[in-house]
Structure 1
Amino acid sequence: MSDVEKAKVAVVGASGYSGIELLRILLKHPGVDLTTVTSRQNAGKSLVEVLPQFKAYPGADGLKFTSPSVHELAKSGIEFAFLALPHGVAAEYAVPLFEAGVKVIDLSADFRLNEASVYREFYDKVHPAPALLKEAVYGLPEIRAKEIANARIVASPGCYPTSMLLPLIPLVRSGLIESNTIVVNSMSGVSGAGRSAAIPLLFAECNESVRPYGLPRHRHLSEVEQELTIAARKPVKITFIPHLVPITQGICTTIVAELAPRCTSMSQVEAVLEAVYRNAPFVRLLGNGGFPDTRHVRQTNFVDIGWHHDPRTKRLVLTSAEDNLWKGAAAQSVQSFNLMRRIDETTGLL
């Protein structure tokens, strides 16, 4: 793919975990001219001084972290901006960049929700740019490829929601499961909490320990229920229990739901999933009885999905695994970038 025309790209917030993985992908992406990387904390320092792992990457030696000035970014000539910033902060950059004609791919939660009122309910603050919500496309490439291709601002999904929505949307949409019976348990690596110093995330606190958190209403429920409601064409509410596990990165999700009366065999489940994901290069269906493993998706854009039927309880058990920093964040946003560029969606990701 060396003949792909390069687009000028900025990564805003490039020193967090998702930002670092974006750099890992974009520095080697044949369609990217990475011109700007920002970090308030590291402004003025060279990229390889702060992140020596990139020393041999093409173009890395010439890059310096800059202070994330909105006005300088808007007039820098960049065509795309990846925002790897906390929610609430990302919108401060998204609005002026969008108005300047820059295409924005936001990894925060600021533009994932269709309603500002839901944002306020789940994020405990007034939405900073409600007028832009109608412009944003929820960036789940396997479900919204055409919309993403035509978008000017893409809201990249959260890591947990990606692991839930890809197994669930086809089955909810087809009516094969009872949408009001969905219960989800997810386990995430510690990097999912971000790159910040906090006592509950210290090695001595997390190692050899597993704990639930974020109950009863994790923030990611808002986007999951929004997208499942769209798929089901009726309101959907689910139970979601996230857990912190002592690994660096990866998510393993188990979903339990009752089968609908119209689902009489597992061949129907398999047929629906195969039909939706037959041409999806990053969804690997492990089949009835398959068990995903985070080891097999680490530092990839793949999500592995398996399923099991419990005839005793008449419940379907769906399982998935992904890398929370790749398919759940950085790599999935690059997949959307590829769609927006009208190039092969696997470019730079395989």
Structure 2
Amino acid sequence: MNRFEQALAGHGLALHRARLQTLQLNVGRKCNQACRHCHVDAAPWRTEMMDEPTAHRIGDWIRRYPSEIVDLTGGAPELSEFFRYFVETARAVGAEVIDRNNLTVIEEQGYGWLPGYLAEHQVQVIASLPCYSAENVNKQRGNGVFEKSISALRKLNAAGYGTKLPLHLIYNPLGPTLPGPQAELEADYKEVLGRKFGIIFNKLYTITNQPIARFADDLRRQGKWDEYLELLANSFNPATVDGLMCRTTLSVGYRGELYDCDFNQMLDMQMQNGRPLFLWDITPDYLEQRAIQTGVHCFACTAGCGSSCTGALAA
């Protein structure tokens, strides 16, 4: 029993999967950015991307077992040659589609079509913007990223996002701390982005930095690894457990392999049943009540108000 499982047991809790609601496809590690906090270790030089046979096997599964939500992530998922294939396949079976967008991809040469395309297919955009100040964003994500992000947000607004179509922003702390209160941060973002740049959006989601991949390397360099893990563990909130995204989301890697969440995927914690499991090996019913693989990184999702791909989990 690992430390996280001990924390669950201490509160009389266990972590099992519920009915599948969201199929989250990580189409590859390539990204036009290389952010300091990235749990995927994504970057422009990464070459691990989904191939055509895998994409079509996943598309067949979506048609056979339509999920309520198909969540496209990466890397920058838009860089995949199968991005539009997944959008259109999922929309054709009535699924809601989420594009986890880093904003700057819209400013890349050859990607000016994105806002109009996303609007045409009524894709929900969840976009990363770790702060409303240029200094803080550029420190975490690279020089010029804030300015490109503002330009991209204006283009999304012009396409109807923030008014007719959902545009949500993601906030994550700049260092080894827990996010502040989500409602207060959302109000601050809306005030500053609206006043300074005329930008509107719907919701702000706060996400706790995961102690894995690039952020973990940063913590170790600063000598803050142990301190951050203690902060997460000591902030364990049992009220967050029912809402954990791993209970209703299935993470699929670029080879079609299965994980309980995108964070487990980055730690190579592939789901097993005597052998490694791939999407085409299972049906949605197979997942229900299955035990979820955990580790100390799971404390990031249960600390304080909790954390998920759709923000805080508890008041």
Q: TM-score with structure 2 length normalisation?
A: 0.35
Question: Which structure would you say has the larger RCO, counting Cα contacts within 8 Å and 6 or more residues apart?
Answer: 2
Structure exhibiting the larger radius of gyration computed from Cα positions:
1
Greater fraction of residues in helix:
2
